[in-house]
Amino acid sequence: MARSAKAISNPVITDSPLPRPSKIDAVIALLRRSEGATLGEIIDQTGWQPHSTRAVLTGLRKKGHTLEKAKRDEVTCYRIAEPA
């Protein structure tokens, strides 16, 4: 019995001139807000598990971002400190 060859489909090309922002870009945008972001806000935005979200924060620190921690309504809030 001969098997028929499957056609290889080409990826869909869109007319969008700008690439879609990544989840990391969304996290950085949240952290650059004046009020920063709580772990819960980042989880809601990305859909990540809490341990994955904390790992991303650690990764941002390792890439040179300075993260500040503060309290907002008794919840830890993270913010990227802008260079002076």
Tens-place pLDDT, residues 26-52:
999 999 999 999 999 999 999 999 999
51 domain residue, yes or no: yes
User: Is residue 4 included in any domain, yes or no?
Assistant: no
Q: Looking at the domain assignment, is residue 14 inside a domain?
A: no
In angstroms, the Cα distances linking 36 to 9, 21, 64 are: 43, 19, 17
Number of domains in the chain: 1
- At 11, is the pLDDT very low, low, confident or very high (cuts 50, 70, 90)? low
* Residue 12 located in a structural domain: no
CATH of the domain at 33: 1.10.10.10
pLDDT band at 5 (very low <50, low <70, confident <90, very high): low
More confident residue, 16 or 80: 80
Whether residue 2 lies inside any domain: the answer is: no
Residue 46 sits in which domain range?
23-80
Output the pLDDT for position 10. 57
pLDDT band at 12 (very low <50, low <70, confident <90, very high): low
